[in-house]
Amino acid sequence: MPSAPPRISAATQRSAFLLSLATFSSMATQRICDAMLPALSNIFQTSVAQAAQVIWVFAVVYGLAQLFYGPLGDRTGKFRIITYATLGCSVASLVAAFADNLNTLVMARALTGLFAAAVIPLALAWVGDAVPYERRLETLAKVGLGTTLGIVGGQLAGGWFADTLGWRWAFALMTVIFAVVGCLLLLDLRRQQRLPGTESVDMPHGRPGFVRQALAILSDPWASRVLMIALIEGAAGFGVLSTIASHLHQTLDLSLSLSGSIVALFGLGGVLYMSVARWLIRRLGEDGLAQYGTALMGLSFAVLGFTRWWPLTPVVCLSAGFGFFMFHNTMQANATQMTPSARGTSVSLFSCALFSGQALGVLMAAHLSAVLGSGGVIALGGSIVLVVGTLMARSLRARNGRSLSPIDPL
């Protein structure tokens, strides 16, 4: 008779719940500008490509900051870094709310990206350190749910505020959310410090230098392949995602709030995936999730890019999100297992590749839209994701043919 999986203490479960609130906040602020780009373009009297700086500059800083936060979290404590970074996001969002020109807003977004970069990767790494493998699946799913709902909340809030009270109020809302979540994390951090005997293993201890850790990860063929695919995934997936609301607004003449609501269904597709993830994992395996997930996303993006019948767009946004998270969570699961002895660094390198790709994707999409049209760019992004998903599926089949390993949906 198999033994029961180890129990997770109430204290660890509470910490994981607070981390899910932090990941929600971090992802919401990443996506909050997507639906407001046309409004920012009009207000600051510039092109949408110029206004897109608020997204791609954020992504560049977010990605590069991973090189700093990964080793810092491994050395000084991941939960501690997440706490202070969340409070820093509150200050940066307040600066964005009072920005009086586009350059100031871009600088405020860069500062927000600098702090937000710590939250999601270190939260995933904290769970990997603090929760036994047998219970990690469900814990990662709870923390990952915050990230997925953040996509929904950010898209909805950005479009709604841009259409009603004004874009500044979106950043004011993020200021309050980050402040509340940061204070809750701070209280929990102090509880952990008062009780050093808790289950958390997130304590400072000796580590090799960052350069040595990074070189060890990058020299591993499998890890370098995962990172390269993450770079392309970020450009073709998250990068193109930022253009969809503007495409719906400009091409189908939908309001910004409705456009943001439709794109928010992309995140709900991720929630739907998580509700059936265990069944799909048993049925399809890692390679099947990568292959069929990117196929679904590629088809959905093609329809989304070229349809002129707007009632179809909510359906394909939902299916695109479902397919994307089938693939993305497979990628995340492999990232958490690249180097368990330096999980903070390895997950942060993964995030660096992902969001550097997003920055590249946003920049390229803004300029390619003038040549291919926004619909053509969306369809192209789906095609690229399909290609890299096929390559990842083949690599997983070859790898798992030698050594089978389970996957944790995040």
- Domains observed in the chain: 10-194+208-400 (1.20.1250.20)
What pLDDT score was predicted for residue 61? 87
The per-residue pLDDT of the chain, averaged, comes to 81
In this structure, what token pair is assigned to residue 288?
């099947």
What pLDDT score was predicted for residue 275? 77
* Mean pLDDT, rounded, for 30-36: 82
* Mean pLDDT, rounded, for 342-357: 77
Query: Comparing 12 with 395, which gets the higher pLDDT?
Result: 395
Query: Comparing 111 with 400, which gets the higher pLDDT?
Result: 111
Q: Tell me: the pLDDT tens digits for 237-288?
A: 877 777 887 888 888 888 877 887 888 788 788 888 877 877 887 788 878 8
Q: How far is CA 172 from the centre of its chain?
A: 22
- Per the rule left: phi > 0, alpha: psi between -120 and 50, beta: everything else, 45 is left
* Mean pLDDT, rounded, for 220-228: 85
Residue 92: is its pLDDT beyond 90?
yes
In this structure, what token pair is assigned to residue 308?
């002129």
Residue 410: is its pLDDT beyond 50?
no
What pLDDT score was predicted for residue 91? 95
Query: Comparing 115 with 153, which gets the higher pLDDT?
Result: 115
Residue 359 identity: A
Confidence of residue 134 (pLDDT cuts 50, 70, 90): low
Query: Comparing 410 with 206, which gets the higher pLDDT?
Result: 206
Query: Comparing 391 with 345, which gets the higher pLDDT?
Result: 391
Specify which of 12-16, 320-324, 353-357 reaches the highest per-range mean pLDDT: 320-324
What is the rounded CA–CA span in Å between residue 26 and residue 264? Answer: 16
What is the rounded CA–CA span in Å between residue 108 and residue 80? Answer: 23
- The percentage of residues in the chain with a pLDDT greater than 90, rounded to a whole number, is 19
Confidence of residue 132 (pLDDT cuts 50, 70, 90): low
* Mean pLDDT, rounded, for 94-122: 90
Q: Is the pTM of this model over 0.85?
A: no
Confidence of residue 33 (pLDDT cuts 50, 70, 90): confident
Dihedral sign, Cα of residue 188, residue 193, residue 197, residue 201: positive
Closest among 133, 211, 153, 128 to 26, alpha carbons compared: 153
What is the rounded CA–CA span in Å between residue 370 and residue 377? Answer: 10
Burial (CB count <10 Å: 0-12, 13-18, 19+), residue 190: exposed
Q: End-to-end distance of the chain based on CA atoms, in angstroms? A: 29
What is the rounded CA–CA span in Å between residue 77 and residue 359? Answer: 28
What pLDDT score was predicted for residue 342? 65
What is the rounded CA–CA span in Å between residue 165 and residue 203? Answer: 44
What pLDDT score was predicted for residue 3? 52
Confidence of residue 4 (pLDDT cuts 50, 70, 90): low
